[in-house]
Amino acid sequence: MSLTGDFRDATRVRVLLSAIAREAEPVAAHLGRPLQLMEVCGGHTHAIFRFGLHQLLPDTIEFIHGPGCPVCVLPVEAVDQAVSLARREGVILASFGDPLRVPGSRGSLLQARAEGAEVKVLYSPYDALALAKGNPHKQVVFFAIGFDTTMPSIACSLLAADRAGIGNLRFLCHHIRLLPTLNGLLEAGDIRLDGFVGPGHVSMVIGSRVYQPIASHYHKPLVIAGFEPVDFLQALYQLVLQLAQGRCAIENAYGRVVAEAGNPAALKAIDQVFESGVDSHWRGLGTVPGSGVRLRARYRHLDAAALLDPDAPTEAVAEPAYCNAVLTGRIKPHQCPLFRRHCTPEHPVGALMVSSEGACAAYYQYRLAAAPEEPGSDQ
Give the footprint of ligand SF4 on this chain (CB under 6 A).
320, 322-323, 326, 333, 336, 338-339, 343, 349-350, 352-353, 360
> Rounded to the nearest whole angstrom, what is the least distance from the CB of residue 353 to ligand SF4 in the complex?
4
Q: Which helix (H) or strand (E) holds 119?
A: strand 118-121
Distance (Å, rounded) from C-alpha 261 to C-alpha 61?
Answer: 31
Closer CB to ligand SF4, 202 or 359, in the complex? 359
Closer CB to ligand SF4, 272 or 344, in the complex? 344
Closer CB to ligand SF4, 20 or 338, in the complex? 338
> Rounded to the nearest whole angstrom, what is the least distance from the CB of residue 337 to ligand SF4 in the complex?
8
> Rounded to the nearest whole angstrom, what is the least distance from the CB of residue 336 to ligand SF4 in the complex?
3
> Rounded to the nearest whole angstrom, what is the least distance from the CB of residue 326 to ligand SF4 in the complex?
5
The set of long-range contacts for 19-24, using a CB threshold of 8 Å and a minimum separation of 24, is 19/237, 20/57, 20/58, 20/61, 20/233, 20/236, 20/237, 20/240, 21/57, 21/58, 21/60, 23/237, 23/240, 23/241, 23/243, 23/244, 24/58, 24/60, 24/61, 24/240, 24/243, 24/244
> Rounded to the nearest whole angstrom, what is the least distance from the CB of residue 31 to ligand SF4 in the complex?
27
What is the number of the residue whose Cβ is closest to ligand SF4? 350
Closer CB to ligand SF4, 112 or 343, in the complex? 343
> Rounded to the nearest whole angstrom, what is the least distance from the CB of residue 82 to ligand SF4 in the complex?
19
> Rounded to the nearest whole angstrom, what is the least distance from the CB of residue 66 to ligand SF4 in the complex?
14
Closer CB to ligand SF4, 37 or 71, in the complex? 71
> Rounded to the nearest whole angstrom, what is the least distance from the CB of residue 140 to ligand SF4 in the complex?
31
Closer CB to ligand SF4, 31 or 191, in the complex? 191
Q: 121 exposed, middle or buried (CB, 10 Å; 0-12, 13-18, 19+)? A: middle
Distance (Å, rounded) from C-alpha 69 to C-alpha 42?
Answer: 5
Closer CB to ligand SF4, 291 or 335, in the complex? 335
Distance (Å, rounded) from C-alpha 110 to C-alpha 22?
Answer: 49
Closer CB to ligand SF4, 253 or 336, in the complex? 336
Distance (Å, rounded) from C-alpha 275 to C-alpha 254?
Answer: 29
Residues 6+ apart with CB under 8 A from 371: none
Q: Give me the DSSP letters along 5-74.
A: GGGG-HHHHHHHHHHHHHHHHHHHHHHTS-EEEEEEEHHHHHHHHHTTHHHHS-TTEEEEEEEE-TTTT-
